[in-house]
Amino acid sequence: MTRPLEIAFVNNMPDAALAATHAQFSRLLRAAAGERDVKLRGYTLPGHERGEAARRYLAGTYDSINALYRRGADAIIVTGCEPRAARLPDEPYWPHLTRLVDWARDHTTAAIWSCLAAHAAALHLAGIERQPAPRKISGIYRFACLETEWARRDAAEIIVPHSRYNGLPRAELERTGFRIGSWSAEAGVDMFWREEPSLFVFLQGHPEYDGDTLLKEYRRDVIRFLAGKRPDYPDAPEHFFSGDNASGLRALKSRVEAGAERDPIGALTDIIGAEPCAQQWAGDARGLFQGWLTAIGARSGDHRRSA
């Protein structure tokens, strides 16, 4: 009887997104696994400031990272977090994250590094600094599929949501031995990978997102602006809202910036509430994770190495 694949999930997301992110990756893995038995186990990384509710949630559902080092896993998924410092090495969790990268190289068959975790791992492994984008890369983008060795993609292009202020330059990634899985001229690199010898897969986008996650992030950012917690009114996610709703959001932004809108939150809620929020990328996300799980199964056999 084939044993389950053990996937360690190291969740570094902000407090408000912890449970939702866990649910998103769990659903995606279940959809990709098919009849394959996959077990997702959560772990916490030190160095993140948490509120009381988040600490209770993590204590009740997650193990410490040291438990992962003792127990081992076939593969890991590591999420990003909201940056606090200008430089990643100045973040309080940096030494814990770099230790996890080093451990995963030799003690897993595969790993996924998501969003900021991808930037941190690329910096630690290859010294590649993330670069600020001219504006936030937020929306649903089409990417050409390039390297398909393990991902088993049949499509020429895929759709992936992105939500980030920084990116990694393709030329630097290729120069240091990373292989580009998907890329677009509009949003840059989507997925890239390298043998460490563990199969390290890096995602700058968010294939795990629900259909309305970008909408919720946009609403959050608008409310932050209205509360004086960010200096600029955010642009709506690109290629996300239908024509009428996109026009309505642009008009609302103009009214707010001109001081001519009496109820901006109410107007915002009315517009975004009319958007259907289809998860257009669900099939592409499932295909990516199917390829990743197949690669894990082919590589792992019965070995699971702990520290």
Mind listing the pLDDT tens digit for each residue in 138-186? 999 999 999 777 776 678 999 999 999 999 999 999 999 999 999 999 9
Region 107-112 average pLDDT: 97
pLDDT band at 307 (very low <50, low <70, confident <90, very high): low
Q: Who's near 116: CB < 8 A, 6+ residues apart?
A: 12, 80, 81, 82, 83, 88, 164
What is the pLDDT of the chain when averaged over all its residues? 94
What is the rounded average pLDDT of the residues 14-36? 96
CA distance 82 to 304: 31
Phi, then psi, of 145 in degrees rounded to 5: -85, 125
Given this model, what pLDDT does residue 198 score? 96
Residue 306: what pLDDT? Answer: 52
Q: What is the mean pLDDT of residues 265-286?
A: 95
Residue 218 near residue 206, CB atoms below 8 Å: no
Strands 179-184 and 188-195: what pairing?
antiparallel
CA dihedral sign of residues 285, 288, 294, 296:
negative
Nearest alpha carbon to residue 150 among 285, 289, 281, 39: 289
The pLDDT score that the predictor gives to residue 300 is: 74
Check if the beta carbon of residue 116 is closer than 8 Å to that of residue 81: yes
The alpha carbon dihedral of 181, 133, 187, 287 has a sign of positive
Residue 248: is its pLDDT beyond 80? Answer: yes
Q: What is the mean pLDDT of residues 80-109?
A: 94
Q: pLDDT digits over 41-59, tens only?
A: 999 999 999 999 999 999 9
Mean pLDDT of 67-81: 97
Residue 305: pLDDT over 70: no
DSSP-assigned states of every residue in 181-213: EEEETTTEEEEEEEESSSEEEEESS-TT--TTH
pLDDT at 31: 97
- Catalytic residue set: 115, 206, 208
Can you read off the two tokens belonging to residue 68? Answer: 């992962």
Residue 27 amino acid letter = R
Q: Work out the average pLDDT over 231-259.
A: 96
| C-beta atoms surrounding 118 within 10 Å | 25
Rounded Cα–Cα distance for residues 84 and 204 (Å): 18
pLDDT at residue number 113 = 98
Q: Are 88 and 119 in contact (CB under 8 A)?
A: yes
pLDDT of residue 299: 84
| CB-CB contact of 79 with 59 (8 Å) | no
Whole-model pTM: value is 0.94
